[in-house]
Amino acid sequence: MNNDNLPAPSDAMRREMAESAVAKAREAYERYAHAGEQALNAFEASMAQAFEGWKQVAGSTREAATQLTDSNVAGARKAREQWESAGARLYNAFEDNASHMLFAMREIGHRMLVASDTNVRASLDFAEQLASTSDPREMLQLQVSFMQDQSRRITDQVVDLHQTTSRLAREAAIRAETR
24-60 b/e (C-beta count within 10 Å ≥ 16 → b): eebeeeeeeeeeeeeeeeeeeeeeeeebeeeeeebee
Q: Is the pLDDT of residue 34 over 90?
A: no
Residue 161, classed as helix, strand or coil, is helix
Q: Is the pLDDT of residue 154 over 70?
A: yes
Q: Is the pLDDT of residue 163 over 70?
A: yes
The confidence band for 66, taking pLDDT boundaries of 50, 70 and 90, is low
Minimum mean pLDDT range among 69-83, 117-131, 136-150: 69-83
Residue type, 46: S
Q: Is the pLDDT of residue 179 over 80?
A: no
Q: Where are the domains of the chain?
A: 46-177
pLDDT of residue 67: 60
pTM of full prediction above 0.75: no
Task: Pick the more confident residue, 99 or 163.
Answer: 163
DSSP assignment string, 82-138: HHHHHHHHHHHHHHHHHHHHHHHHHHHHHHHHHHHHHHHHHHHHHHHHHHT--SHHH
CA dihedral 81, 83, 88, 89 (to 10 degrees): 110
Asked whether the beta carbons of 119 and 150 are under 8 A apart, the reply is: yes
User: Helix 11-70 crosses helix 74-131 at what angle (to 10 degrees)?
Assistant: 180
The confidence band for 68, taking pLDDT boundaries of 50, 70 and 90, is low
pLDDT of residue 18: 79
pLDDT of residue 57: 61
Run of H or E residues at 35: helix 11-70
pLDDT of residue 158: 94
Cα 7 from Cα 30, distance rounded (Å): 35
